[in-house]
Structure 1
Amino acid sequence: MNDFFTRFATAAAYWCGHASAFMIALVAVLLWAATGPMFDYSDTWQLIINTSTTILTFLMVFLIQNSQNRDSAAIQAKLDELIRTSLAANRYIGIERLSEEELEALREKCLQRAQEPSGERNAAE
């Protein structure tokens, strides 16, 4: 089931990012708006677009979050590999799992080191 959802989410996110998907949505809204006078702008007529857009938005949130989670994990793995194979400190691998307080302390430490003259920084590392 998880593999199916991943493949579906990838395909849906890819397709929804195309101009043709936007054009289809735009045409649907224009057709809905054009039928307003025919339905005398009734509550049912308004409910159709409200319900449709709410359902689509609700479902798209999950697809977008899945795509972002996978992209974030892939980028993190690439960064970890770059750190591992470079002269950078390996202690930074996996820091995405630190608490917010630990990350903030690390950011502060990095900021302080970045503001030191390069000779002092190299001696401290």
Structure 2
Amino acid sequence: MEHTAVQRRMSRILHWIGDLASRSTATVVVVVSLLIFGVLLAIAGFPVSWEAAFSTVAGAVTLVMLFVVQHTQGRNYLVLQLKLDELIRSSPEANDILVRLEVADDSELNDIEQDQLAHHESLRDPVGFTTSNNGHEEP
């Protein structure tokens, strides 16, 4: 699917907002702004119009940030999935079924999970291993 220039620009803007919002200085700016607004609100006698405006702005910012976070997490998930798929494909011993596991049925996921758990348990099984004098296991 080809992305248009507008979609690419919007994606870059959303990532820029997400990167900016994830910095610790963004938290400090928000806290200081809220404190200043609270003091100004108290000095002005808590006008209802100010409270309504603040609620409207806070709701709008929350909604925008919801979409920013969803977009950036979705893209990061896709990138991570592609990297993991490449690692799976590059290993001759890897199970190729795992490459497209995200579209599997729940029952198939449960079966594969049980197989993985059994495999990991078999690796932890001390049968055939002895402990040497230095405390490391040896076959």
Scaled by the length of structure 2, the TM-score of the pair is 0.75
| Residue 108 of structure 2 is aligned to residue 102 of structure 1 | yes
Per-residue deviation, residues 2-57 of structure 1 (Å, max 9, x unmatched):
21121111111111111222222122101110112222123223223222211111
Q: How big is the alpha-carbon RMSD for the aligned residues of Structure 1 and Structure 2?
A: 1.9
Identity in percent: 22
Extract structure 1 runs of 4+ deviating beyond 4 A. Answer: none
| Greater share of helix | 1
Match of 2:22 among 17, 23, 26: 17
Deviation at 1:117, TM superposition (A): 5.6
Q: Which runs of 5+ in 1 are unaligned?
A: 120-125
Q: How many residues align?
A: 119
Task: Describe the shift of the 1:58–1:117 C-alpha distance in structure 2 as closer, same or farther (beyond 3 A).
Answer: closer
Are the equivalent residues in 2 in contact too, given 1:13–1:63 (CA < 8 A)? yes
Match of 2:99 among 93, 97, 101: 93
Scaled by the length of structure 1, the TM-score of the pair is 0.83
Match of 2:41 in 1: 36
Are the equivalent residues in 2 in contact too, given 1:39–1:45 (CA < 8 A)? no
Structure index of larger Rg: 2
Q: Which runs of 5+ in 2 are unaligned?
A: 1-5, 126-139
- Higher relative contact order structure (alpha carbons within 8 Å, sequence separation ≥ 6): 1
